[in-house]
Structure 1
Amino acid sequence: MRGRPPLALALPAAVALLAVGAGPAFAVPTTTPIPSPADPNQPPASAPNGPQPLGHAVGDAGGGLAVIRLLPNSVPTSSILPNLQDELPKQPAAEAGFGLSSAQANSEAYLSYEHAIAQASPLGFAIAGNAPQTPGALSQTALPDNPQPTSGGLNPPSTPLDTLLKVGVLNGSVHARWSETAGPCVDTIADAQTSLADLSVLNAIPNLPNVTDLTGLVNPSSKLDQGTANQVVDSLKTMTAPLSQLGGLLSGKQTSDGKGSLVSLPNTLSSRSVVKLVDIPGSPNKAVQSTSTMQVASVKVLAGTPMELDVNVVSQPTLQVTSTGDPKTSTVNYTAPVLQVVQGGKTLGTLDAANPKLDVPVGVPLPGADQLGKLPIIGGLLPNGSPIPAALKKIDIGVLRLQIAELDQKTQQITGQPFTGFQLGATARLLDLQLLPTDALGLPNLPSALAQVTLGEQVARAVAPTGGVVCGSTTPPATNPAPQGSPPLAYTNAAYDTIPLFWTGTALLLAGVVVVAALPYRRQRRHH
């Protein structure tokens, strides 16, 4: 393992995953720019020495075990370009990604250690779109090559969201490979893995009022009359905790067992991102393949309450993108997750590609009804765990929306720079859970979503030149060997001028000596 990479490489996974909601970015990954000479006619600053790889390959894969977004689409995106701010999609007020893995390969990188990057990061977060650097990550870069991976524990740093979540033990493993002569033609270019023992998030909804009495705050909307609005206020007064704790369903503080949180994952979950070259049938060349995989056993919503929702992951998601350089043979293979939602032993629904969304209502009983523990009603169960009777009068103030994200893929034909080829990318998500307000919760300035927890964000992209990646190296030009015992002169711009200047200076020096020696000597007369 080498030391931490510079700031530009500090959070490649975080940057990729926190921006994944807008779809895959379609440009060759940004690296250190190649410096230009002051004089356009000046030779390059340096030139390669020895055999050089022939293969061109660019790819990246990333995975995030969990991403939390507070007030999605509520903060304008800033831009240095005039009049562009209004056109860009809005960002969350705060977002954080946990258990991030990132693997990158880029043969076109200017700096040698940017050819392959593998990183496992405990956390990446952004406040109003600003993402500071966070410590505690494992990383490997190549060149030079790394024969062995690096593994170890990850220590999440302190963040503004610490009071809303509890993160268990994090472990990571990273491996970056690159050959000086064969370039990307190694076994696996970049491989990053992250595992998380347990996670519980959102024991409170900070953008909801921290009081039980909402008198004067709930305004009737066009779909809600004043009388019903007053009934909602009276019902919320009877709750055992403020609305920010969903009337008592959330603890409002961290707990050791994950109870009292909106979402908890009690079992080990893991993410793996891999970039490598694979064979192209009928061709000696290779294709670039980027793969993101997730392993999640189950998800619990409102764990520890009689109305707990169990989301069982029946089928694990896998996202794999392969680019051969030809649109006809490049592929995106996605194994969509299958999630079974169970409450009180009864299956509420199954989320899959055919049925990607399930809404679970969050209601309160209207005054006059049995309060049954003075807690909100979730789904089809009362706070005591019994089914809702048909005669019970309630009103839904919110919705828990569970959704698997559809596969989003994009393609682009690459021409000219950095090479002619084909780019293919895709993004997917295991599960999105959103807390949405209804018209009955007539609080001012509420966004369309109060909070969003995303589990298993995946992104993959691959770029290959037309015809595939050529494995091999160039033959260096024949040169006169340097005299034994003397080091070779560096092949830089200064080398073009050093030898002529040396011999010219030597000749002028000898000529000066001859001229001085040939002049007649004259004794200087002294005047008395």
Structure 2
Amino acid sequence: MSRRKSAALALPAAAAVLVMVASPAAAQPTTPVPQPANPSAPPPSAPIGPQPLGHAIGDAGTGLAIVRLLPNSTPTKTIIPGAEDKLPKQAAAEMGFGLASAQANSEAYLSFEKAIAQSAPGGFAFQGVSPQAPGALSQTAPPNNTQPKSAGLNLPASPLDTLVKAGLLNGQVQAHWSDTLGPCVDTIADASTELASLSALNAIPTLPGGTDLTGVFDAPNLDANADKAIIEGIKGLAGPLSTLGGVLGGQGAKTTGGKGSLLSLPNTLSARSVVKLVDIPGSKNKAVQSTSTLQVAAVKLLAGTPYEVSINVVSQPTLQVTSTGDEKTSTVKYTAPVLEVVQGGKSLGKLDAANPKMDLPIGIPLPGAPSIPGADKLPIIGGLLGNGAGAQEAIAGGLQKLDLGVIRLSVANLTQKGENATQPFKGYQLGATARMLDLQVLPTDALGLPNLPSALAQVSLGEQVARAFAPTGGVVCGTATPTQPPAPAPQGKQTPPLAYTSAAYQSVPMFWSGTAMLLVGVVLVAALPRRPRVAQVKITPDRHTD
């Protein structure tokens, strides 16, 4: 039974962090209440036994890493005519790693969906369609679970395996629910996922895989001579643009320690999602609180190359949403991350809420520039050449370069939304999403390739979602015993006996009466003792003959 539950819930666990937005908390991926085929049919029977009074809905989701190819390039599919043009576009392909989700829903139709804690190795979607991802670890309640469940996780196979490599994953989940108090337990759902290491984007498949772009390259702001100079410059690189001129390992390349990848996380990172009830000051009722936390030590870009960039996580991000049922007292608390960016032993600055973006240009040296040993066949990334020397000094010495792309880093992307609701109960629902770090590879106007999207690739680290929905006045903790309905009162007069219209009405009771008397006679005869027979001797008087 537990295996069947895990398989049935693997898809919501993998897809939740990929597609969750700050929408109403009531829209959770639980089984909908089935409607009767006949609208005039009576409602389902009332519950039997003590029932909890508390109503609470909340969920939290955390993804360690989300890789998106061609973001905002695929229309969102919908069954509503004309709605595709109004909805934001999705990525052509996306894959998440290290997903942890916790859910609480007192209104769930199936009993085991009231509390769900899940830890999934990953989930993936192609053009907005998310197939089922096996290998998820889940625990549901009721019945209540006194001990958490933990196990190692295996990543599902996908077409993105040549671009992404992940280390060992471990998950731990625990779900609580009381048969009498419902959500009024210590912690309703708690899920965590740990990932040993991760490396992503060994190549950028949206860029050309060859070095000769003759007849293809045509920058709109450059003349024909400039286009020819850029084409010759790309030919001189050690690799195609899909590997950033030979810096990345390429599709299918085996990476060690993140070398050959655009982004890598060499140390253990973990995600945790928790949903629970907390006290409301000055009230005996409770508030619904959903929390998403992330633990990351450091992030590296282009590890093992002269361009290596270290991003040290100074402050860990935490997203917490609390709903008291009242808009005035419900809150969203977000601890924005603080990241320090270092390249070549020099600090390039800090990424925080005040400075949320930083660009690292990707350029190529143009023909005719002074030859620099060790850097003539490699691009210029950030402020360094291929030999590790500073780019500013070489430019001052006559080096000419052209930026074809940008690696953009951004943090503290927090969005939130709240609204009053009346279904499935009257209250206030609040939701928020955030990302610790977004890495985007963006083309510039000088990259004259046809049909390029606004972003070539995107990796999101620490994608967090938290939503909470509490009834007006807070969650009531208590138990109600349903009352039994009274017996129906008699309607009108009692129906009089029917008139005798045939002798059959008397023959039937006479038949059964005779049968009963016969059985009684048989029993009496069988029960009475039998008298012994006495032998009779006939005495004949003697006859004397004279």
The normalised TM-score by structure 1 is 0.89
Structure 1 Cα separation of the partners of residues 104 and 322 of structure 2:
14
Counterpart AA for 1:423: Q
Pairing partner for 1:444 from 440, 443, 450: 450
Q: Rg: which structure is higher?
A: 2
Counterpart AA for 1:56: H
- Post-superposition offset of 1:243: 1.2
Q: Is the 8 A contact 1:26 1:412 kept in 2?
A: no
Match of 2:491 in 1: none
Match of 1:135 in 2: 134
- Give the 3-state SS of the residue equivalent to 1:87 in structure 2: coil
Pairing partner for 1:413 from 420, 432, 436: 420
Q: Which moved more, 1:35-44 or 1:132-141?
A: 35-44
Pairing partner for 2:508 from 490, 497, 517: 517
Aligned ranges for residues 210-229 of structure 1 at < 5 Å? 210-221=209-220, 223-229=221-227
Counterpart AA for 1:309: V
Match of 2:320 in 1: 320
- Gaps in structure 2 of 5+ consecutive residues: 489-494, 496-502, 513-546
Counterpart AA for 1:182: L
Structure 1 Cα separation of the partners of residues 323 and 238 of structure 2:
56
Aligned length: 493
Aligned ranges for residues 49-68 of structure 1 at < 5 Å? 49-68=48-67
Counterpart AA for 1:169: L
Check if 1:404 corresponds to 2:411: yes
Q: Is the 8 A contact 2:10 2:120 kept in 1?
A: no
Match of 2:196 in 1: 197
- Post-superposition offset of 1:229: 1.5
- Give the 3-state SS of the residue equivalent to 2:414 in structure 1: strand
Counterpart AA for 1:357: K
What percentage of aligned pairs have identical amino acids?
Answer: 67
- Post-superposition offset of 1:17: 1.7
Q: Which moved more, 1:265-274 or 1:363-372?
A: 363-372
- Post-superposition offset of 1:373: 4.5
Match of 1:387 in 2: 390
Match of 2:248 in 1: 250
Counterpart AA for 1:5: K
- Post-superposition offset of 1:518: 4.3
Aligned ranges for residues 286-325 of structure 1 at < 5 Å? 286-325=286-325
Taking structure 1 as reference, are residues 42 and 209 closer, same or farther at Cα in structure 2, changes over 3 Å only?
closer
- Post-superposition offset of 1:5: 2.5
CA offsets per residue over residues 110-161 of structure 1, 9 Å max, x none? 1101101110000100011110001111001111111111001001111110
Match of 1:499 in 2: none
Match of 1:342 in 2: 342
Structure 1 Cα separation of the partners of residues 98 and 192 of structure 2:
9
Match of 1:426 in 2: 432
Counterpart AA for 1:477: T
CA offsets per residue over residues 13-64 of structure 1, 9 Å max, x none? 33222124x5445543242222334555543332211100000000000000
CA offsets per residue over residues 225-252 of structure 1, 9 Å max, x none? 2222211111111111111111111011
CA offsets per residue over residues 272-302 of structure 1, 9 Å max, x none? 0000000111111000000000000000001
Counterpart AA for 1:380: G
Counterpart AA for 2:384: L
Structure 2 Cα separation of the partners of residues 27 and 247 of structure 1:
48
Taking structure 1 as reference, are residues 118 and 513 closer, same or farther at Cα in structure 2, changes over 3 Å only?
farther
Match of 2:146 in 1: 147
- Give the 3-state SS of the residue equivalent to 1:458 in structure 2: strand
- Give the 3-state SS of the residue equivalent to 2:348 in structure 1: strand
Q: Is the 8 A contact 2:196 2:268 kept in 1?
A: yes
Task: Give the CA RMSD over aligned residues.
Answer: 2.4
- Give the 3-state SS of the residue equivalent to 2:133 in structure 1: coil
Check if 1:170 corresponds to 2:164: no
Match of 1:100 in 2: 99
- Gaps in structure 1 of 5+ consecutive residues: 481-494, 497-503, 505-511, 522-528
Structure 1 Cα separation of the partners of residues 83 and 48 of structure 2:
45
Taking structure 1 as reference, are residues 516 and 329 closer, same or farther at Cα in structure 2, changes over 3 Å only?
farther
The normalised TM-score by structure 2 is 0.86
Q: Is the 8 A contact 2:292 2:464 kept in 1?
A: yes
Check if 1:28 corresponds to 2:32: no
